[in-house]
Amino acid sequence: MEEHFSLDDHASLALEVAKHAALANGDSRCGTEYLLYGLVATAHGELTELIELFALNTLRIDRAIERMLEQRAATLGSFADPQLTDRARAALRTQRIDGAGPTGTFELLHGLLVDDDAGACTVLRDLGVQPDEARRLVSYGIRHLSKEEIDDLLTTLDRRDGTHYAWWGPDPAGRIDSIRTPGLVPLEVASSDSARVDVTAFGSDKFGFGFTLNVRSLRSWVLPPVFAPEEALIPGQGAQYNDGPDFMLLQLVLPDGTTLDNRTIVDRFCASQPAEPRLVPLGQRDEHVNLNDRRQHDQHIITGDWWVWPLPAPGSLEIRVDWPAESVSGSVTIDASLLTPGLEA
């Protein structure tokens, strides 16, 4: 017989979403990680602000759950209703501090974070959020402060204004050295009758190196370039990526033979250092330039900044691009030793 929990409407909805997420993954267990997914998927009010503060969303949580499932395949392949784990049941029994009223979303989130070994805490650590830091904020949420008090608290504790920075660097307080090697930039990577692709800047620090990729139209484009493949979340299968003719494939072949590309979206904010090199997008600018000249087409310029972690070993580094929509394909090779901070020819 299914246990009855005293939940408010929002917490009840989060529980239903959690059960459906576990079922979609073929998981026989509905643990605290799925309850966390349900809370994020149905967030409202101050809980939404808390979730945004830690850059959480259902797609990131689903990916983290997939990584957990890889470690316990024995519980997968079930088509029966998932059963709540002991930790999930304990979280659903979390009571309000004042003892009045049913369990709400903040109480439920508080219950998910009690045990460091709980699936919810594992997911948060995987996504670069320290459970202690989350508990600190949630402990205020269960007191049901006023909106003004919540706003003041979030401003005070906002982790984005602290010393946190992503694994790939650069340190926000650090210095990025521009590389002014004569003849290195601008560097043409590829061109066609309708477009030209150049690397217009390099920079580096102790973490890795960055570069700016400039795509400029020579005539009107049928399909402007897209640098991030279209991403769709399919329950039970995780993120799927579809790239069409407008997708511009960017590849880097490092001196050791490792190939990096932009076909898979890499999470920029992660507390742990990855085991493999990473190519990370930092930002993009889209401009339309009116040349005021009837003999020429107005220019469409897309400029993207990229970061590569870590610094490559000395040797040849190849940058490749492939953009089928405008028949742009080519590559250029540079000496990776020139990317070492402070080194100039």
pLDDT tens digits for range 260-294: 999 877 766 665 677 889 998 888 899 988 766 66
Q: Residue 124 domain-assigned?
A: yes
Number of domains the chain is built from: 2
Name the more confident of 135 and 11: 11
Q: Clarify whether residues 100 and 182 are in a common domain.
A: no
Q: Clarify whether residues 53 and 121 are in a common domain.
A: yes
Q: Are 49 and 140 in contact (CB under 8 A)?
A: no
Q: Residue 267 domain-assigned?
A: yes
Kindly report whether the peptide bond that precedes residue 277 is cis, defined as omega within 30 degrees of 0: no
CA distances (Å), origin 282, targets 197, 227, 279, 344: 18, 12, 10, 25
| pLDDT value at residue 180 | 57
Q: Clarify whether residues 63 and 96 are in a common domain.
A: yes
| pLDDT value at residue 183 | 54
Q: Clarify whether residues 36 and 62 are in a common domain.
A: yes
Task: List the Cα angle 209/210/214 in 5-degree steps.
Answer: 150
**Mean pLDDT, rounded, for 37-50:** 89
Q: Residue 35 domain-assigned?
A: yes
**Mean pLDDT, rounded, for 138-147:** 64
Q: Is residue 105 predicted with pLDDT exceeding 80?
A: yes
Name the more confident of 247 and 235: 247
Q: Residue 144 domain-assigned?
A: yes
Mean pLDDT, the chain, integer: 82
Q: Residue 121 domain-assigned?
A: yes
Q: Clarify whether residues 319 and 183 are in a common domain.
A: yes
Enclosing domain of residue 257: 177-339
Q: Clarify whether residues 115 and 187 are in a common domain.
A: no
CATH of the domain at 156: 1.10.1780.10
Q: Residue 311 domain-assigned?
A: yes
Q: Is residue 120 predicted with pLDDT exceeding 70?
A: yes
Q: Clarify whether residues 327 and 205 are in a common domain.
A: yes
Q: Is residue 343 predicted with pLDDT exceeding 60?
A: no
In whole angstroms, give the CA distance from residue 16 to residue 285: 41
- The residue among 115, 133, 161 that closes a domain is 161
Q: Clarify whether residues 32 and 71 are in a common domain.
A: yes
Q: Are 301 and 324 in contact (CB under 8 A)?
A: no
Name the more confident of 8 and 176: 8
In whole angstroms, give the CA distance from residue 248 to residue 225: 6
Q: Residue 166 domain-assigned?
A: no
Q: Clarify whether residues 186 and 327 are in a common domain.
A: yes
Q: Clarify whether residues 147 and 280 are in a common domain.
A: no
Q: Clarify whether residues 201 and 64 are in a common domain.
A: no
Name the more confident of 189 and 237: 189
Q: Clarify whether residues 182 and 128 are in a common domain.
A: no
pLDDT band at 239 (very low <50, low <70, confident <90, very high): low
- The residue among 161, 194, 225 that closes a domain is 161
Q: Is residue 47 predicted with pLDDT exceeding 50?
A: yes
| pLDDT value at residue 256 | 94
pLDDT band at 161 (very low <50, low <70, confident <90, very high): very low
pLDDT band at 1 (very low <50, low <70, confident <90, very high): very low
Does this model's pTM top 0.85?
no
- The residue among 161, 192, 209 that closes a domain is 161
| pLDDT value at residue 266 | 73
pLDDT tens sequence across 12-36: 999 999 999 999 888 889 999 999 9
pLDDT band at 333 (very low <50, low <70, confident <90, very high): very high
pLDDT band at 190 (very low <50, low <70, confident <90, very high): very high
In whole angstroms, give the CA distance from residue 111 to residue 6: 14
- Provide the b/e sequence for 236-252 (b: ≥16 CB within 10 Å): eeebeeeeeebbbbbbb
Q: Residue 344 domain-assigned?
A: no
